[in-house]
């Protein structure tokens, strides 16, 4: 990165900044660690925002500021300690109209006139946050971490539940809109761009046969019977940070997709991903089935984290959310396969076919277990 100094000098940082080094292996945004030479100064995380995925960068960053400020206020009200490590802190830009801000920290400089939490350099968008020291994340999903994930994401949703409607916008329009996704599938079938509709007709028929019942929750949301809430919309174990010394939970990260949705988005997508005994693109469909212990642990933690705000109807629909989100991903993979693999990156020619069949298999297995899942939810 040749222009790192030009990028970083626009942010209201403290200390002597070293050249950024690659951090992690994220698929959407490019992420770097920026160390400071002085041990008493914060280190930073620099990210290039993928504005092909998030075209409205202003809305994206405004959402994140609202969410992180709100979480920080909630933690203060609870009397939490070490809030600096329990809420993400994004650094504002320097106010070029005055020379006084060099001595201010990112937090103190946050209210400077004209300050933002991102910059655009050579057509690329960048943001900077404080690096949370002595933290770690996990990739493996065990019942223990499923419980912690459920409780943590439930509490995260709870802290955001009193943000006024309309204050946080959709960073990806129609992201978890099932009717929109079904419309995309209809268009793909009609166009038959890759000439695959005939081959896939039995699968198409099976998917479309389930469309009406899978839209039940969206119908209730549109009718005002199911609350619209702020959801994380990317509930994964590795989107949480833990204390490197004692494994205590610190905070939820990767806030780009926090947007209005329903609790079914977060609950269901975790079951779709972490609750699958097989891989998302497993060629051996005998591997693909619901991991009931992971479901039970996640559900137990989630209901603990949401006990102060979850409605009875939301609780009743949680297992349905697992089926709905798996069905939605089946629809998306199928549409992309019919379109000639234009959206999802593929590793081989029939990759989206394998993804479609694996997700459809998981959807069907979740449906078989819905009564058992409902019974467990009601027992808690």
* Tens of pLDDT, residues 318-354: 999 999 999 999 999 999 999 999 999 899 999 999 9
> How is 173-228 classified by DSSP, letter by letter?
TTTT-HHHHHHHHHHHHHH-TTS-HHHHHHHHHHHHHTHHHHTHHHHHHHTTSS--
Residue 240, H or E segment:
strand 240-243
pLDDT of 111 over the 80 cut: no
Tokens of 124: 């690329």
SS3 category, 21: strand
| E runs forming strands in 62-154 | 119-121, 124-130, 135-136
Count CB atoms within 10 A of the CB of residue 7: 21
Whether residue 225 has pLDDT greater than 70: yes
**Given this model, what pLDDT does residue 57 score?**
97
pLDDT (0 to 100) of residue 98: 32
Q: Rounded distance, CA 154 to CA 158, Å?
A: 6
Q: How many residues does the chain have?
A: 380
pTM of the model: 0.89
Q: What is the pLDDT of residue 8?
A: 97
Which of 30-34, 96-100, 337-341, 373-377 has the weakest average pLDDT? Answer: 96-100
**Nearest-angstrom CA–CA distance, 8 and 272:** 39
Compute the distance between CA of residue 110 and CA of residue 130 in angstroms, rounded to an integer: 13
* Cα four-point dihedral sign 374, 182, 281, 148: negative
pLDDT at residue 95 above 70?
no
User: 180-217, pLDDT tens digit by residue?
Assistant: 999 999 999 999 999 999 999 999 999 999 999 999 99
What pLDDT is stored for residue 139 in this prediction? 85
Output the CA–CA distances (angstroms, integers) from residue 88 to 44, 148, 169, 306, 330, in the order listed.
11, 19, 19, 21, 33
Confidence of residue 112 (pLDDT cuts 50, 70, 90): low
pLDDT at residue 25, rounded to an integer: 66
Q: Among 50-64, 107-121, 141-155, whose mean pLDDT is lowest?
A: 107-121
pLDDT digits (tens, 9 = 90+) for 137-169: 988 889 998 999 999 999 999 999 999 999 999
Span 263-320, pLDDT tens digits: 999 999 999 999 999 999 999 999 999 999 999 999 999 999 999 999 999 999 999 9
Quote the pLDDT of residue 237.
Answer: 86
pLDDT value for 265: 97
Q: Where are the domains of the chain?
A: 4-133, 143-379
Q: Are 360 and 330 in contact (CB under 8 A)?
A: yes
Split at pLDDT 50, 70, 90, the class of 32 is very high
pLDDT of residue 27: 60
**Residue 159 near residue 71 (C-beta atoms within 8 A):** yes
Arithmetic mean of pLDDT over the chain: 93
pLDDT at 340: 98
CATH superfamily assigned to domain 143-379: Aminoglycoside phosphotransferase (APH), C-terminal lobe (3.90.1200.10)
pLDDT of residue 281: 96
* Residue carrying the six token digits 């490197």: 244
Confidence of residue 120 (pLDDT cuts 50, 70, 90): very high
d(C-alpha 330, C-alpha 348), whole Å: 18
| Residue 113 pLDDT greater than 80, yes or no | no
* pLDDT tier, 29 (very low <50, low <70, confident <90, very high otherwise): confident
Residue 101 pLDDT greater than 90, yes or no: no
Which letter, b or e, does each residue of 53-75 get, where b requires 16 or more Cβ atoms within 10 Å of its Cβ? ebeebeebbbbbbbbbebbbebb
State the Cα–Cα distance between residues 205 and 191, nearest whole angstrom.
Answer: 16
The average pLDDT across 38-66 equals 96
């Amino acid at each position: 990165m040749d222009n790192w100094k030009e990028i970083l000098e626009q942010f209201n940082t403290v200390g002597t900044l070293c050249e950024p080094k690659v951090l992690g292996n994220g698929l959407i945004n490019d992420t770097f660690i920026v160390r400071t030479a002085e041990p008493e100064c914060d280190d930073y995380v620099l990210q290039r925002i993928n504005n092909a995925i998030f075209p409205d960068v202003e809305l994206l960053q405004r959402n994140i500021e609202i969410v992180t400020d709100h979480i920080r206020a909630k933690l203060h009200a609870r009397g939490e300690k070490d809030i600096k490590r329990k809420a993400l802190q994004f650094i504002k830009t320097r106010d070029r109209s005055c020379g006084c801000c060099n001595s201010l920290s990112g937090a103190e400089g946050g209210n400077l006139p004209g300050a933002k939490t991102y910059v655009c350099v050579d057509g690329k968008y960048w943001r900077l946050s404080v690096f949370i020291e002595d933290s770690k994340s996990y990739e493996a999903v065990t019942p223990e971490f499923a419980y912690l994930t459920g409780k943590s994401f439930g509490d995260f949703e709870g802290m955001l539940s009193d943000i006024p409607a309309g204050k946080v916008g959709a960073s990806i329009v129609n992201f978890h809109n099932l009717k929109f996704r079904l419309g995309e599938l209809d268009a793909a079938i009609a166009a038959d761009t890759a000439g695959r509709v005939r081959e896939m007709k039995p699968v198409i028929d099976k998917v479309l046969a389930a469309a009406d019942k899978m839209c039940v929750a969206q119908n209730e949301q549109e009718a005002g019977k199911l609350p619209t809430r702020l959801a994380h919309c990317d509930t994964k174990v590795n989107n949480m940070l833990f204390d490197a010394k004692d494994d205590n939970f610190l905070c939820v990260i990767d806030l780009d997709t926090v947007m209005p949705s329903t609790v079914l988005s977060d609950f269901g997508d975790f079951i779709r991903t972490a609750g699958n005994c097989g891989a998302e693109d497993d060629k051996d469909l005998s591997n693909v089935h619901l991991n009931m212990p992971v479901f039970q642990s996640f559900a137990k933690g989630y209901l603990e984290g949401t006990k102060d705000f979850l409605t009875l109807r939301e609780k009743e629909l949680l297992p349905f959310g697992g089926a709905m989100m798996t069905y939605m991903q089946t629809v998306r993979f199928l549409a992309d396969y019919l379109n000639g693999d234009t959206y999802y990156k593929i590793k081989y020619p029939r990759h989206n076919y394998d993804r479609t069949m694996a997700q459809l298999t998981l959807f069907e297995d979740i449906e078989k277990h819905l009564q058992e899942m409902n019974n467990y939810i009601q027992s808690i």
